[in-house]
Structures are given as C-alpha cells and as structure tokens.
C-alpha cells in the first residue's frame, strides 16, 4: 500500500460546487466564478469530477462552466452535501501492491466544530459508488473505532514519509480521536497508508478553522523537499513564532543533516474580514497533472510565492487563482480539491514510483 504524492499522475480531480451561503457570509455570489476558473484551468490537464448538492446547483454549475468555456473533460454528479471542502470530507486515494486504486474513507466529524455534517460524512461512500473503487475504513488500534481524520491533515512525499501537526491530532481541543496517542496515529498511518516515517510539526497558521491542518503550512514538492510557510516579520508575532518552531522541527528531522531541503514560502500580509484573521497561505496550492494552482491575495508577496513554487515545479505550469473572497470560507485551493490517483500495473508501479519519487515537478 502506498499513499502517492500529489504530483503523481491523477485520474481526476474532485470538487464540490459551492451552495452553502453561511460558509461565505454575504460573499457567496462571487465564489462560483472562482470555482469555474479553477475548473477551467484543471480541465485542460485532467478530468474534473464535480459534486452538486441538487438539480438547481447542477444547473448553476453548468451555466458558470459554460461561461468560462469549460465544455468537456468534466462530469457533474448530484450528491447532497453540507460543505464543499472535499479535501476533508472526501476519501484519500491509495495504490495497492497490485497497482489498483482504493479509497481510504476516514470518519468525518466536521472538524469537531459544526453540527450539520451528516451528508458530508457519506461523501466517501458516494465517491466509491460513482467510481466503483473499493473503500477502506481505518480503525483505531486501541479500541477498534473508526479513525476521524481529514485529507488536509496529512501530507506525503509518496515515498513513505508524512507530515502532520501536533495541534491538529494531539491537542486536547481538537476532539477527533480522544486518547489516540502519537504512536497510535503512526500505526494507523503505517497500516492504512504505507507510511514509514511521520514528521510531527507543531501548530498550523493563525486563523485556521481546522485546528492546524498541515496543508496551510508545509507541503512536499519532491521527496526530501518541503515548502514551508514562514513568517519572517516578528511583528506578526503568532505566525512568526509558529514558523520558527516548525522550521526548527524540520531541521531536527533531517534539514540540518541535509536529508531534507526546506524552502521558505512567505505569507501574504494578514487578510482580515469583519475583524477575523483568515488562514491566507500560499502553501495551500494544489498539484494537478501538468499544472500547479496557487492562491493569490493581491499582495506584494504573490509574485515571490509564484516564482518560488515555479522553481520547485519546473515541469509544470503555475497558475495563480485570486483567493481573497475564497479564503472568507476559511479555506482555499487545496482544501476544496481531492485527487483521484491513476492506477497502474504491478510492474509499471515499481518503475513509476521511482520515477515519480525522484522527478521534482515531473
């Protein structure tokens, strides 16, 4: 079993069309246009599977996609849902020893923050039904209960190493799997995802609604290469403190010895709406076949972030997506996408895994 890196070949990208106004209070109107732009970019590189809450939402999606010139390489599916963050409610694609794809279906509890998530909790089963792929429900090693987890909480290099945060999985306020230890999580990761080494960072970014998801702060761009969101300015004391701590942890995990290369990504200046600090981070980029889409914030650091990510993925197109309105929903591009890996034959996987693992931006 292997949890493939995001830069490995995809069969498709899954997204869910926005419809839940409370997720973007007073700002839902522009969000479908952002989604249509995301689909426009992605459909040129891979199929886009779009989940729609109802017939009405499906019709709205079709109209927005047509307006953006998206007329092929996508499919619409009516699946009732509560929110659009498929990175978290959707299943995690893995590759078995036979080269076939399976879906790891974590239990979803809406980040232990919201009451209305019953439909999202069924998203894994719905995607398995649509794709015909087998579904796996990981269990805790201590009590046999289903493991509560989200895709935004885990980040892999595709070669057996994973990044997570203590804030997300171990802090007492996170309420995902009370009592599950660090060692217990690592057992789950080994058995369900084929992970051999888990690197534990500290806290996520300020404003993160998920109790510290890794995908807002640290992302593998190749085995041994990590893009780390890093706030240089001590005046932004909270993100600066967290950045310094996470950098030190990566140094201890192999950076100081040269086993890890740590590339710093800046943060944009704080994005505030109605007095609330939002989790604006360039690290929330999404890697698709041939392209990386990157959230931008009308900030002077947009150019620096885009150039840095372009250097890390020389074989891919880099496309900035305006995310100032999107982040009002407390998430951006990586949070709303979920890749479906491309299955391969047993022999081809052995070759391909090595090729994908070494080829940065392949």
Tokens of residue 111, six digits:
């980040």
The closest alpha carbon to 237, from 270, 214, 264, belongs to: 270
Distance CA 109, CA 118 (A): 8
Neighbour count for residue 121 (Cβ, 10 Å):
16
Distance CA 176, CA 174 (A): 6
Candidates 52, 168, 205, 335; catalytic one: 335
Sheet with 218-222: list strands edge to edge. 218-222, 225-229, 261-265
Is 335 catalytic? The answer is yes
The SS3 of residue 304 is helix
Listing DSSP states for 11-30 in one string gives: EEEEEE----GGGSTTTTTT
> Which helix (H) or strand (E) covers residue 250, if one does?
helix 237-250
Q: Which long-range contacts (CB under 8 A, 24 or more apart) does 189-194 make?
A: 189/154, 189/162, 191/138, 191/141, 192/1, 192/94, 192/104, 192/136, 192/138, 192/147, 193/1, 193/2, 193/3, 193/92, 193/94, 193/104, 193/154, 193/156, 193/162, 194/1, 194/2, 194/3, 194/94, 194/160
Longest dimension (CA), the chain: 56
Distance CA 230, CA 187 (A): 30
Strands (E), 189-303: 197-201, 218-222, 225-229, 261-265, 272-273, 276-277, 286-288, 291-296
Instruction: List, by residue number, the catalytic residues.
Output: 335
């Amino acid at each position: 079993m292997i949890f493939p890196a995001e830069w490995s070949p995809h069969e498709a990208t899954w997204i869910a069309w926005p419809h839940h106004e409370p997720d973007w209070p007073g700002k839902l109107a522009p969000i479908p246009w952002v989604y249509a732009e995301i689909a426009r970019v992605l459909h040129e590189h891979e199929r886009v599977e779009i989940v729609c809450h109802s017939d009405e939402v499906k019709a709205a999606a079709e109209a927005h996609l047509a307006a953006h010139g998206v007329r092929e390489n996508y499919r619409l599916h009516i699946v009732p849902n509560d929110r659009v963050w498929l990175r978290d409610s959707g299943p995690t694609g893995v590759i078995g020893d036979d080269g076939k794809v399976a879906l790891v279906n974590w239990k979803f509890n809406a980040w232990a923050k919201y009451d209305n998530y019953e439909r999202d909790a069924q998203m894994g089963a719905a995607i398995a039904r649509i794709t015909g792929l087998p579904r796996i429900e990981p269990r805790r090693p201590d009590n046999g209960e289903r493991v509560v987890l989200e895709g935004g909480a885990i980040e892999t290099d595709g070669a057996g190493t994973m990044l997570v945060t203590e804030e997300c999985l171990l802090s007492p306020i996170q309420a995902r799997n009370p009592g599950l230890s660090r060692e217990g999580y690592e057992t789950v990761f080994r058995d369900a995802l084929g992970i051999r080494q888990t690197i534990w960072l500290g806290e996520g970014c300020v404003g993160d609604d998920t109790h510290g998801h890794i995908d807002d702060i640290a992302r593998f761009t190749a085995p041994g290469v990590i893009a780390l969101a890093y706030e240089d300015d001590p005046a932004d004391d909270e993100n600066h403190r967290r950045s310094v701590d996470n950098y030190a942890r990566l140094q201890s995990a192999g950076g100081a010895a040269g086993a890890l290369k740590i590339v710093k990504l800046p943060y944009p200046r704080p994005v505030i709406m109605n007095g609330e600090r939002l989790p604006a981070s360039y690290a929330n980029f999404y890697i698709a076949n041939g392209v990386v889409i990157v959230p931008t914030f009308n900030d002077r650091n947009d150019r620096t972030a885009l150039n840095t990510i372009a250097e890390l993925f020389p074989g891919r197109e880099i496309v900035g997506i305006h995310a100032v309105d999107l982040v009002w929903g407390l998430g951006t591009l990586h949070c709303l996408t979920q890749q479906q890996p491309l299955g391969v034959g047993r022999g081809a996987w052995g070759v391909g895994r090595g090729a994908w693992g070494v080829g940065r931006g392949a």
